[in-house]
Amino acid sequence: MPNYDFQCEKCQKIFEIRRSLDDRSIPKCQFCEHQKTKKLISAPGIVFKGKGFYKTDSIKTETKKQEIKKTKK
């Protein structure tokens, strides 16, 4: 389940809630328990895994060997 940031319209404090993607309810403020909060937009956490994410993954094998030899010198 992802974490979402919300901001209270009364006290302006920001708090985080972990909930499912389907949950559309508006949570109460965790600090002052005010009913009006708004969901903040934040960047997603991205993790790059597997082949193809490094410069050396996309070059041919012989070129890769030559490049490795150059970096060891």
Q: What is the 3-state secondary structure (H, E, C) of 49-67?
A: CCCCCCHHHCCCHHHHHHH
Taking the C-alpha atoms of residue 40 and residue 52, their distance in angstroms, rounded to an integer, is: 33
Res 59: pLDDT: 58
Q: For 31-46, write each residue's pLDDT tens digit.
A: 999 999 999 998 877 7
Q: How confident is the model at residue 52 (pLDDT cuts 50, 70, 90)?
A: low
Q: For 62-72, write each residue's pLDDT tens digit.
A: 655 666 677 66
* Contacts for 4 with CB less than 8 Å, ≥ 6 apart: 16, 17, 18, 19, 39, 40
In a domain, 38, yes or no: yes
Please give the biggest Cα pair distance in the chain. Answer: 64
Q: Is pLDDT at 15 greater than 70 in this prediction?
A: yes
Report the domain count for the chain: 1
In a domain, 49, yes or no: no
- Give the structural domain span for 29: 1-42
In a domain, 1, yes or no: yes
In a domain, 72, yes or no: no
